[in-house]
Each structure stands twice: as structure tokens, then as C-alpha cells.
Chain A
Amino acid sequence: MALEVPENVLVTKLDALASWCRKNSLWPMPFATACCGIELMATGASRHDLARFGAEAMRFSPRQSDLMIVAGRVVMKMLPVLQRIWQQMGEPKWCMSMGACASTGGVFDTYAVVQGIDRFLPVDMYVPGCPPRPEQLLQAVIDLQDKIQREGTVSGREFERREPVRALLQLPILGQTPEMRARR
């Protein structure tokens, strides 16, 4: 029993349609704390032009944005602020960890610097580099769009299993892993 579909009608899945809408209008929240922030500004400016990928509307209010770009090192005094801003963003939302410092702490292996925001926040996309060039950030935005298109659902099912990647944590603090401390 064939169903007659007129020429001007497109058949798709609702999930795919929602993801297509979301991925092409990402509104970044620039959480720029260091030199990565300068590259982030360059990415948004005319030469590299983030607007080509629909992500030019930088909002400094978390309520109005859905992609948090953490650009630069995060110190222990700043992390509660970062978490608060993340919580204030409405769903659906994504987090991008830009540069070596946000992803791992980078060269700042000291008492005050958080060794990777993915210990305390769910991160969707990592951008390597110190700082990454705008091209790398653009590639990350393209990859994130790809990820949203692949995984996205209307109901946000894909967010349910998302957790901090290295949450407290397999990596040792002062040579001791959490299991060693628990055993003691």
C-alpha cells in the first residue's frame, strides 16, 4: 500500500530534525580565563568567522546560551563559579574544554589549579593545543555539530548517561588513588 507523498514534503525523524535545528544555532557562553580566550575571540572575529557555523551569538548570560566553551586554566577559587554557571544553563547544553589547561591543567601543576575540568563537569569536546588555533576550535565546533546530529534526541536521552569523565578519579593525588585512600 503505497502512500502518495507530494514533491514538497520531506520525511525525516523528529530526533534528526531537532538535532539539525540545535546544531546549526549553537550559542556559546565564553568562559575565557586565559590566553585561549584570545584565540576564542579571534575565532569569533571576521577572519575566521564562527558565524559560518551558526555559532556567532556569544552570550555572557548562561541562561541564553547552550554551549559553554571553557577557554583557559580554572583555579580552585573559580571552579564553584564554573559549576554554578553550568547549572544555570538550560538544557540542551554542551561543554567544550578548550586548550591544554582546561583539559588537563597544562603546565600549571600546582596546588591552586584544577587538573582538568572534566573531573567536575561533563565535557563533550576537547580541543588540544596551547592555545589552540582558531582552525582547531572551528574543527571542534564542526565535530560537535556532527556529534549532536548523530546522538541528539528530542527528549535529551543522550544526556542521561553523561558524567564527569574522570570523576573522582582514577588519577592519583600525591601518589594515592581513591581506592588506596579508602582502604586506609
Chain B
Amino acid sequence: MSELVKNVTAALTARFDGCTVSEFRGEARVRVPRHHLLPVLQFLQQEQGFDLLVDITCVDYLVYRDATDRFGLVYLLCHTESSQRVTIRVTLNEPDLHVPSATPLWEAANWLEREVYDMFGIEFTGHPDLRRILLPPEFAAFPLRKDYPLQGRGERHNFVPLARDAS
């Protein structure tokens, strides 16, 4: 972990209680309680210079060994001046899958959050336009959840076959 990231994570844990920092291959991972998520992101963006939102993604730990929480929401931030990175993690459990949207901080969060919603069904409160982004709007499930079967529940065959006289 670089000096800059060390200072940032130290300032972060001092300001927000309940945050835990760990290191993996030289990069910092911060586990954040959900009620601190938006303030933490705002602190990193506006006071610490982590100005680039690289990605928002999610992991379903349903069948993961020793996992205690169902979903892990992951925010990847980059400090563009020094190209240092930091990972923010929030854990979520059913039935309360709501997190505040990061769209007020980064416009880039708009489509990233729509993708997470599309695949995992996590709802971002305050998002301006939370619709499905990849799957058709009538799709009823969240296919990247581990309890969704790989071959689907018959959605791929839910079409009218065309006979010759219909065309």
C-alpha cells in the first residue's frame, strides 16, 4: 500500500466508525457499513482526490465458503493524479437490498448501477432512471444471482414459432 493510500485509509477510519481496511497485493480494500457508503464516497471524491469511478459491480456469496453476507457490492475508485486505487465494499442481505445511488457524485454511476440492478436486483435509491439495461424489460428474474439456474426458467423459449403461412 502506498503512503497516499495509507494516509487516506487512516483518515477514513478515523472519521467513519465501523470501517475496516485490509490489503491485498498492494491495494487497499475498505469494508464500509451501508449507512456510511455515500459519505465515504463523497469524502474520497471531494477531499481525497479519488475522482474516477472505475466500476461498480456485485458478487453473490450464496454458495461461497464461510460467507456470512449474501451480496457484496464493490466500488472501484481511482486517484487519477497518482493512479492509486482503492476498493470500497458494502455487504447487503435480503430482503433489504437498497443502497443510496452514487449518481450525484459521478455521472458514470448511472449505467453501472443499472447493470447491477439488471443482474442482481439491487435497488439504488435516488437513481434517476433505474431500468434494466441489458435484458429486455419484461424479463422477470435477476440472472447473475446464484439461485437462478444457468439455463434460465424458460425465458429463452418464450416466443411464438413462425409457421410458413404466417410469414
CB distance from B119 to the nearest CB of A (A): 11
Give the contacts of B118-157 with A (CB-CB under 8 A): 135-136, 143, 148-157
- The contact of A164 among B149, B150, B161, B165, by CB within 8 Å, is B161
- The contact of A77 among B135, B148, B158, B167, by CB within 8 Å, is B135
Decide yes or no whether A174 CB sits under 8 A from chain B: yes
Which residues of chain B are within 8 angstroms of A77 by Cβ–Cβ distance? 135-136
CB distance from A183 to the nearest CB of B (A): 17
The answer to whether B159 touches A163, judged by C-beta atoms less than 8 angstroms apart, is no
- The total of interchain contacts (Cβ-Cβ below 8 angstroms) comes to 77
The answer to whether B156 touches A114, judged by C-beta atoms less than 8 angstroms apart, is yes
Give the contacts of A139-179 with B (CB-CB under 8 A): 159-164, 167-169, 173-174
The answer to whether A122 touches B152, judged by C-beta atoms less than 8 angstroms apart, is no
Decide yes or no whether B67 CB sits under 8 A from chain A: no
- The contact of A159 among B151, B153, B155, B164, by CB within 8 Å, is B164
Residue in A111, A122, A159, A164 with the greatest tally of chain B CB atoms within 10 Å: A111
Which residues of chain B are within 8 angstroms of A164 by Cβ–Cβ distance? 161-163
Considering the chains assembled together, what is the distance between the CA atoms of A160 and B166 in angstroms? 10
Which residues of chain A are within 8 angstroms of B157 by Cβ–Cβ distance? 114-115, 119, 168-169, 173
Considering the chains assembled together, what is the distance between the CA atoms of A111 and B152 in angstroms? 4
Residue in A76, A109, A115, A163 with the greatest tally of chain B CB atoms within 10 Å: A76
Listed in ascending order, the chain B residues whose CB lies under 8 Å from chain A are 135-136, 143, 148-167
